[in-house]
């Protein structure tokens, strides 16, 4: 009888027996990226929205940016916890999150990620750097690194896609675009 009363009291208080609500996978993926720890790196879930990232991105520090070819405009918001981190939003959906110049060397990332699914030329500061963009589109990860530059240029995460989808809508080129 006592057990029945306790069960009824818990039910009336709205307690479901489930653990407290955890962060959304979107929040966790972005946190994994900004820690700079390759073992925490993973792509974004497809349902990642600005609401899932409200404590990570600064909506007041934003501008318009372009990804993909021929070029898709996104709202580009700064990430609060890192010096050079950005979230690219398409309306309310987080399309891509990137961190520039993370502290770990490329070898650390490759030890965790393995061989990239694709290697592309990467344009950085209007200079094409051959085979400098390593992409795991099915995992939602891209890393730009070049032997001429001593550190990683950028690490980006996005919802898993095809290589063509990545190139068409998510690939970043650090070039002066004609407006």
Please list the rounded mean pLDDT of every run of 10 residues in the chain (179 residues).
38 38 76 93 93 80 86 87 86 93 93 97 87 96 89 94 95 64
Cα–chain-centroid distance for residue 48? 10
Average pLDDT across the chain, whole number? 83
Please, what sign has the CA dihedral across residues 52, 61, 167, 43? negative
Q: What is d(CA 105, CA 68) in angstroms, rounded to the nearest whole number? A: 26
Q: What is d(CA 39, CA 119) in angstroms, rounded to the nearest whole number? A: 21
Peptide bond preceding 103 in cis form (omega within 30 of 0): no
> What's the confidence (pLDDT) of residue 175?
64
> What's the confidence (pLDDT) of residue 23?
57
Burial class (CB in 10 A: 0-12, 13-18, 19+), 178: exposed
Contacts of 130 (CB under 8 A, 6+ apart): 121
Tokens coding 97: 């999150």
Structural domain boundaries of the chain?
22-169
Q: Read off the pTM.
A: 0.82
> What's the confidence (pLDDT) of residue 176?
54
Contacts of 44 (CB under 8 A, 6+ apart): 26, 29, 30, 94, 96, 97, 140, 157, 158, 159
Question: What does the chain come to in residues?
Answer: 179
> What's the confidence (pLDDT) of residue 147?
81
């Amino acid at each position: 009888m006592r057990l029945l009363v306790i069960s009824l009291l818990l039910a009336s208080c709205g307690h479901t027996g489930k653990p407290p609500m955890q962060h959304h996978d979107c929040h966790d993926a972005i946190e994994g990226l900004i820690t700079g720890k390759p073992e925490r790196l993973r792509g974004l879930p497809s349902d990642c929205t600005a609401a899932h990232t409200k404590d990570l991105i600064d909506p007041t520090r934003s501008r318009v940016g372009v990804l993909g070819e021929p070029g898709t405009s996104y709202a580009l918001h700064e990430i609060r916890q890192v010096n050079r981190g950005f979230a690219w939003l398409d309306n309310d959906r987080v399309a891509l999150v990137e961190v520039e110049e993370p502290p770990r060397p490329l070898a650390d990332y490759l030890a965790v990620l393995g061989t990239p699914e694709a290697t592309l030329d990467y344009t950085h500061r209007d200079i094409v750097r051959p085979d400098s963009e390593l992409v795991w589109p099915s995992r939602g990860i891209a890393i730009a690194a070049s032997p001429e530059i001593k550190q990683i240029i950028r690490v980006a995460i996005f919802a898993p896609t095809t290589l063509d989808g990545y190139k068409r809508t998510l690939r970043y080129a650090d070039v002066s675009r004609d407006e």
